[in-house]
Amino acid sequence: MLTRLGDLVKERLGTFALTAPSIAQCAVGSALAWTAAIELLGHPRPFFAPISVLICVGVGLGQRLRRVVELVVGVSLGVGVGDLLVAWIGSGAWQLALVVGLAMTVAVLLNSGALFVAQAGSSAVLVATLVPGDGAGGLDRMADALTGGVIGIAAVALLPAGPFTIAAKHLSGVLDALSTVLERAAEAIEKRDADLAAEALEEARKTQAVVEEFEAALETSKEITLISPLHWHRRARLARYETAAVPVDLALRNARVLSRRTLAALGESSPPPAALAEAMREVSEAALLLQLELGAGREPTLARQALLAVAARERPDGLGFSAHVIIAQLRSVVVDLLQATGMGHEEATAALTPLDGTGTRGGAARRDPQSGTRDTAAENRPFAAEH
């Protein structure tokens, strides 16, 4: 019980460490927006200025800069349309329906983005229901919303969350997931336990979410280094994470196939040998090494050396069909991780021990690292599964 409580406290503190810059952005930005709207614009009650800061900073985290801009414009549009109509037709149920409908219609005609349209509608609701008739004009509130949005973006730029902390945390989640899947599959082979293999497969099927979170976090980190002067000189460091993004995604996809075939192999008359489990564990440890080295900002040489050692191994003899497929997928995972360390595709492929003429060469479909599209030509080349 105490251990679980300690883990929970540690997790919460870790989350706070990541969100602390956002809290600072919201607090400082709200005060600045309120002050700017009063002192520079002469508005006595600039309600929408600090509100826009909170919305802008909150949605901006983990989203694309384009969405932040859409949100700011959407707030301004909803506030302007809503306030102008309320001043003309008054407030009430039918007026609310008309204000929201018109604001969202204008938003759709200008930009069909879901966030833009929703924000225009919700801002119109705020105007029509919470603060109608207090003497402030629609254009004044629109100016307040724009002021808050601009200050919110400035807060993200001048008080940024650490882009490398964000990227490192989420890449760690991806590599932890990969390591766990390989470790559990290896344990299932060693113990000849189909239930453990089923657990490994179930774990593998849940891994796409961490990949998508990493991709979103990487976009956020890239945007921070783009708009924040504090990180302009450090953009090159983020390049290692960009290099790893597609290969680690492919590695997890191949690990899913590997875990499924592990379960199938344990039901065959010739189960996979223990040497295959050992190789899985070595790749699992190499994934954790890659995580540590990238997090420390170092060239991942240790992880690359560990992966090259696995790539140079000879294939065990006397394998069943599923075991052949497991090896093909493990070789693919090795090449994916070698590319994540910065090694070129051809060089990583050349590091593999060649298969003999009877080896199974089928495997998972590949995606081109640059375009992300399916590489159908590679599927028809020799050793396609091994890249």
Q: What is the mean pLDDT of the chain?
A: 76
| Average pLDDT over every residue of 31-35 | 90
User: Helix crossing, 163-191 with 235-265: angle to 10°?
Assistant: 20
Q: What distance in Å separates the CA atoms of residue 167 and residue 225, rounded to the nearest whole number?
A: 12
> What would the mean pLDDT of 346-366 be, rounded to a whole number?
63
Q: Are 318 and 209 in contact (CB under 8 A)?
A: no
Q: What is the mean pLDDT of residues 32-57?
A: 82
Specify the pLDDT at position 78: 76
Q: Given a cut of 80, is residue 22 above it in pLDDT?
A: no
Out of 1.10.3290, 1.10.20, 1.20.58, 3.30.70, the CATH code matching 163-386 is: 1.20.58
Q: Which residue has the tokens 């075939």?
A: 261
What is the pLDDT, as a whole number, of residue 254? 92
DSSP 8-state symbol, 367: B
Q: At what angle do helices 48-60 and 114-129 cross, to 10 degrees?
A: 150
| pLDDT reading at 219 higher than 70 | yes
pLDDT band at 217 (very low <50, low <70, confident <90, very high): confident
> Measured between alpha carbons, how far is 95 from 64 in angstroms, rounded to an integer?
34
Which helix (H) or strand (E) covers residue 6, if one does? Answer: helix 2-39
User: What's the pLDDT band for 369 if we cut at 50, 70, 90?
Assistant: very low
Residue with tokens 């969405």: 67
List of residues 6+ apart from 190 with CB closer than 8 A: 274, 277
**pLDDT tens string 140-171:** 767 777 788 788 777 777 766 666 777 788 88
Tell me the C-alpha distance between 354 and 383, whole Å.
Answer: 9
Domain boundaries, the chain: 2-158, 163-386
Give the pLDDT band (50/70/90) at residue 40.
Answer: confident
pLDDT score of 135 more than 60? no
Residue pair 267/316 in contact (Cβ under 8 Å)? The answer is: no
pLDDT tier, 359 (very low <50, low <70, confident <90, very high otherwise):
very low
Q: Give dist(CA 319, CA 248) in Å, integer.
A: 28
Whether 343 shows a pLDDT value over 80: the answer reads yes
Q: CA-to-CA distance for 244 and 255, rounded, in angstroms?
A: 16
Find the mean pLDDT for residues 321-341: 90
